[in-house]
Amino acid sequence: MPLVAQQFLLLVGKDLKIEARSRQTIGLVMVLGLLIVVVLGLGLGGGAAGGFGATVVLWVAYLFSGVLCFEKTMAVERSESALAALMLTPISHGTLFLAKLTSNLALMAAVALVITPAGVLFFSFDLSAAPFTFAAVMSLGIIGFAAIGTLFAAVVSSTRLQGGLLAMMIFPVALPLVIASTQLLIHQFRDQLPVGGMGLGVLVAFDAIFLTASWLMFELVLEP
């Protein structure tokens, strides 16, 4: 196996092992996501917008859970300045970015597996018409969101700024992706208009832009 692939797997394995031991992120993020679904569900009423409110509420839950997730996984690198030691090893910043992105995606996938059924049930959202479309649209949305989240988490941690700065930076940039994803799902489930290749293509294009830009910029923003 090439050294780059080994390094990538080592870094992802390290992140997941640390998370499995500390359980610092996953529990907190799941509770936050579920709280958002429940609070918004109660506030809007279970059948809000004929159940399609679930897509919006789920995105709100993904966004806030994601921000917490990105902050926590980057904080592991900042603790005890481990990032400086990593940066001295012969790992490219691109590999470091892809590994951190993969770790974030793994955590977000675990969170989504819990939050999504909760949201769907709470809002009586009937997914049976196109469950795979729903999964594909949400997955593509989360991949793009995680790409910019991983980048901005590195920016915020490098500047030592805390608080809600990460959310303030990510949300405006992620907005087109969230709107596109939500619109596609509403067209699919409310208007019975299949998403089709064009709709998914838009999300894939967003992902490609976010992934490439974040991968290229990671080297510039990462500081020990």
Using CB under 8 A, list all residues that contact another protein: 3, 6-7, 10-11, 14, 17-18, 21-22, 76, 79-82, 84-91, 224
| 3-state SS class at 196 | helix
Least Å from the CB of residue 19 to another protein: 9
Least Å from the CB of residue 85 to another protein: 4
- Indicate the residue among 160 and 192 with the shorter CB distance to another protein: 160
Least Å from the CB of residue 106 to another protein: 17
Helix boundaries (H) for the chain: 3-22, 26-44, 53-78, 82-88, 93-122, 131-158, 165-189, 196-221
Q: How far is CA 220 from CA 53, 58, 93, 154, 167, in A?
A: 39, 33, 9, 10, 20
Number of C-beta neighbours around residue 85 at 10 A: 11
- Indicate the residue among 5 and 42 with the shorter CB distance to another protein: 5
- Indicate the residue among 78 and 187 with the shorter CB distance to another protein: 78
- Indicate the residue among 42 and 75 with the shorter CB distance to another protein: 75
Least Å from the CB of residue 78 to another protein: 10
Distance of alpha carbon 220 from alpha carbon 214, whole angstroms: 10
Least Å from the CB of residue 16 to another protein: 11
Q: How far is CA 33 from CA 38, 42, 161, in A?
A: 9, 14, 24
- Indicate the residue among 6 and 212 with the shorter CB distance to another protein: 6
